[in-house]
A and B are shown apart, each in its own frame.
Chain A
Amino acid sequence: MAVYDPPVATYIPLQTITLGATTSSVTFASIPQTYRDLIVVAQRRTVSGSNSEKVHLNGDTTGSNYSRVLMYGTGSSTGSTSGANDSTAGITTTISQTVYQFMDASATDKHTTFLVRDNNTSSLVTAGTHRWANTDAITSITLLVESNSYAAGATFSIYGIEA
């Protein structure tokens, strides 16, 4: 029987990006393959208007390669949707926080899946499961807000969970 040996640390901080100016997208590049899961924490807002945030892995910008199932609540209504789509969260002019958890990010035996928990105090709360129909290990993660930009001051952090 194996003896449980608790890990010293679970989340290993890899990089934090803080925007000094309005920016259309953020990329974590050259992600090492030594982690089992990856966590991305984003705190950001738009300069004006509301749009969807998208996540593209390894530079794959083809939206139909991504699928999702999500549920949401606005405070007055609830809903759920699914299908091929690369949108993950709703971004407004109110700063919001989203946590992405990429499962088996360095594995090549299955499609990449990730959980998303999005919290925006001005509009809605969302939980979603997403899939990238590709078995490649994740080497880069790009976040962008559709037809819009992130305002200065936004922070994006990535953590690794060791294999």
Chain B
Amino acid sequence: MTAVGNTGVAGAFGLGITDIFDAFDTSKNTTTRTLGGRNPVNNNEDRIALSSGLWVNTDAITSLRLSPEAGSLWLANSRFSLYGIRKGAA
């Protein structure tokens, strides 16, 4: 998944990529890895982060929802794309 959202400086959108591992595997909890950030060069708002995530649930993923912090909205021209990696032969 790639995501591009606004930083508050016109035209300067943040960016990030999240990898979701074994998204349809029901034998383990779901884990993620994200690299993203923003660099508007404004008011010390520059950020970069590499993070891992865990959803403590073994269900296969059937839907994803991305939302900004409470009270915020994604701005127009924000873009979100979802890609899949086909699994190889067993």
Contact = CB atoms under 8 A, between A and B. Distances in A.
B61 to A, nearest CB: 12
B15 A103 contact: yes
B11 A111 contact: yes
A109 B50 contact: no
B83 A10 contact: yes
A101 B16 CA distance: 10
B48 A70 contact: yes
Interface of B is mostly: strand
Interface in A132-163: 133, 135, 161
Contacts of B12: 110-111, 131, 133
Given A110-B77, A127-B50, A69 B11 contact: no
Interface centre among A36, A80, A104, A129 (most CB of B within 10 A): A129
Interface residues of B, number: 27
B84 A127 contact: no
Contacts of B13: 103, 110-111, 113
B2 A103 contact: yes
Given A36-B81, A69-B46, A115 B15 contact: yes
A20 interface: no
Contacts of A83: 41, 46
Contacts of A82: 39, 41, 46, 48
B5 to A, nearest CB: 10
Interface of B: 2, 4, 11-17, 35-41, 46-48, 50, 77, 79, 81, 83-86
